[in-house]
Each structure stands twice: as C-alpha cells, then as structure tokens.
C-alpha cells in the first residue's frame, strides 16, 4: 500500500492555497499587471514537502508496515534533490512515489534515480578526471541520502513507530542503498580497469 505523496500535479493548487494564507511577507503572492503570480518554485516545493510529510505522518501512524518506506523514499529523494540543486535546479529528480514500497524497490529507486545524474555531472565538470568526478558526485548524493534517512527516522521516531519491522525495513533499505552505491563506484572507477589490464595482457 502506498501513501499519497505527490510533489506535482493536482496537489500543487491545494498546497499553494493553504500556504498563501499563512505565509510571511517574503512568501506572499505578488501582483504583476493586476494578475497574481505564482510563488517561486523553491517556496512551493518546500510547502509541498511539508504537506506531504504531514500526510505521510498521519498515514504512517495508522497504516501498513511498508508505508514508512514511502516516507523514507520521499525524504531521501528530497534531500538528494537539495544536494543537486546548485547544478541542476529544483526537483532534479522526480519525487513521485511508486506503488512498490518494499525495502528492495525503495532502495533501487533511490540508487537508480540519484546515480543517473553522473554523466551530466561529468559534463558540467570537464576539468575533473573520472575518479575525482566520481568521488565528488558520490559524496554529494550520499550526503543527501544520509540526511534523508535521518529525517525519516526522526519523523517515525517522533510518531513512536520506529521499532520492530519498520525499523528493520529502514535499516535494510539503508544497507541496500549503500550496496547499490558501492556497486556503482566499482563499476565506474578507473582503478577497476587498471587492475584488470595485467590479467588481460597475460591472457593475450
């Protein structure tokens, strides 16, 4: 069972309408040529995140054991987005949750979506050699992932549900993400190629 967490689409109008009623001076909808303009993407995304976390929290408190993983996925992707925002803008990774919120599926989505930016990262940093780019890129997305997991754990702990199967699934997802990142590094590191060259030479 998946919780309704959407960062775009039909959820935007409702979030915007609520937020404009309580926003501070800097967040107020401004008028241009007599027409109300949309609030900035950054402001809107933060409000959407807060709304989705509130909705997720309510569902987690009464929902099935896999729903906390939807919250975990949301916080992980949101914080990886934040880490990537400087180079790729807001919401670099689409953060709509899938129906499958098992530990394996959640970890797989986090790994595949976040590592999918590596080629673009290398193109934006042509002065870096491949290994340096790989290290810097992985440090960036790993930092976002770590922050996301911490936020998810804090939310679930605050709801007094971070125990038993839920805690076990969070830990399992974290381990699978770490393994996925390690496999990605191994597959893209030039050191792997260098180590293989002597064996290839002997074989030849």
Mean pLDDT (10-residue bins), the chain, 204 residues: 41 38 42 45 58 50 58 81 76 59 89 91 92 95 92 88 87 96 94 52 44
Q: Look at residue 17 and tell me if it is in a domain.
A: no
Q: Look at residue 113 and tell me if it is in a domain.
A: yes
Residues ≥6 apart with Cβ < 8 Å to 83: 140, 141, 143, 144
Q: Look at residue 37 and tell me if it is in a domain.
A: no
Whole-model pTM: value is 0.56
Q: Look at residue 95 and tell me if it is in a domain.
A: yes
Q: What is the predicted pLDDT for the residue at 91? A: 67
Domain coverage including residue 169:
68-203
Q: Look at residue 114 and tell me if it is in a domain.
A: yes
Q: Look at residue 29 and tell me if it is in a domain.
A: no
SS3 per residue for 107-160? HHHHHHHHHCCHHHHHHHCCCCCHHHHHHHHHHHHHHHHHHHHHHHHHHHHHCC
Domain count, the chain: 1
Q: What is the predicted pLDDT for the residue at 41? A: 60
């Amino acid at each position: 069972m998946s919780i309704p967490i959407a960062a775009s689409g039909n959820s935007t109008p409702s979030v915007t309408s609520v937020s404009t009623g309580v926003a501070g001076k800097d967040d107020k909808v401004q008028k241009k040529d007599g027409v109300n303009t949309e609030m900035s993407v950054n402001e809107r995304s933060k409000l959407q995140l807060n709304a989705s976390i509130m909705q997720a929290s309510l569902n987690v408190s009464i929902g099935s054991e896999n729903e906390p993983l939807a919250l975990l996925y949301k916080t992980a992707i949101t914080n990886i987005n934040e880490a990537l925002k400087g180079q790729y803008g807001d919401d670099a990774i689409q953060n709509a949750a899938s129906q499958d919120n098992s530990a394996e599926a959640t970890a797989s989505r986090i790994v595949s979506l976040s590592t999918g930016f590596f080629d673009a990262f290398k193109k934006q940093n042509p002065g870096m050699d491949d290994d340096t780019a790989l290290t810097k890129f992985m440090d960036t997305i790993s930092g976002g992932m770590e922050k996301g997991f911490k936020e998810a754990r804090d939310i679930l702990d605050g709801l007094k549900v971070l125990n038993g199967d839920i805690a076990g699934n969070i830990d399992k997802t974290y381990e699978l993400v770490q393994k996925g990142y390690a496999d990605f590094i191994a597959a893209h590191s030039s050191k792997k190629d260098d180590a293989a060259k002597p064996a290839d030479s002997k074989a030849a």
